Amino acid sequence: MRIEIVVFDGFDDLDAFGPHEVFSHASKRLDGWTSTLVGVDEPGTVTSAHGVVMSVSEVLGEPDLVVVPGGGWFVEGTGARAAADRGVLPRRLVELAERGTIVASVCTGAMILAAAGLTAGRPAVTHPSAMDALEESGALVRREERVVDDGDLVTGGGVTSGIDLALHLIAREVDPDTARAVAAHMVYPPQVELSRSAGTPG
């Protein structure tokens, strides 16, 4: 499984690095699994919300799974809001969803999915501060859930939920034992039930 995690100026660090570390550990155990941090439409330098400056040499391609982080939704011109308003990433996400890519988000990354129309009429979750905005966009918000799995659309709540989202997807796509092994290696107690089934984890 090729996994691409999109980064853009103002992305929340842990939204992207948390899932990336989980998937990277999994890739050492699973043939054909890769996790790559990619730019939206061109290689270059990206600065995170917390000041990490990084170089991305690849751009969003045609992965099996794309993960969209959040960051800065309520400040115009920065982070997730800027990525949504620019329109390039939402359009690419629509194209990927139409070709069968699993689309996932962490925190206010769900609002970028909403800008793409991907969460309308579907169960989803985001950071508590953006729950109302997500609901107003037409999503069926699951306010009490940490990870919401609707098959080809998987959303995580605030920040650290990205780790659980990644573990959940490993359990779903491979097996729970592999997900638990990765969690144990990271010394992280999963906050969701790890199982092979899709649907909202308990």
Tell me, yes or no, whether 91 lies in a domain: yes
191 falls within a domain: no
Domain extent for 168: 2-185
169: closest CA among 117, 113, 114, 101? 101
Which residue type occupies 12? D
Sequence-ordered alpha helix ranges (H) in the chain: 13-27, 79-86, 88-98, 109-115, 131-136, 161-173, 176-185
We report the CATH number of the domain holding residue 88 as 3.40.50.880
Per-residue model confidence as pLDDT tens for the chain (202 residues)? 999 999 999 999 999 999 999 999 999 999 999 999 999 999 999 999 999 999 999 999 999 999 999 998 988 888 999 999 999 999 999 999 999 999 999 999 999 999 999 999 999 999 999 999 999 999 999 999 999 999 999 999 988 999 999 999 999 999 999 999 999 999 999 999 998 776 554 3
Residue 134 dihedral angles phi and psi, to the nearest 5°: -65, -40
Q: Give the separation between CA 12 and CA 25, rounded to whole angstroms.
A: 21
In a domain, 63, yes or no: yes
How many domains is the chain built from? 1
Q: Is residue 194 part of a domain?
A: no
In a domain? residue 72? yes
- Indicate whether 198 belongs to any domain: no
Instruction: Specify the amino acid at residue 85.
Output: D
Does 67 reside within a domain? yes
- Token pair recorded at residue 176: 């729970």
At which residue do the structure tokens 């690849």 appear? 58
Residue 200 lies in a domain: no
CA distance 36 to 28: 14
What residue spans of 124-175 are helical by DSSP H? 131-136, 161-173
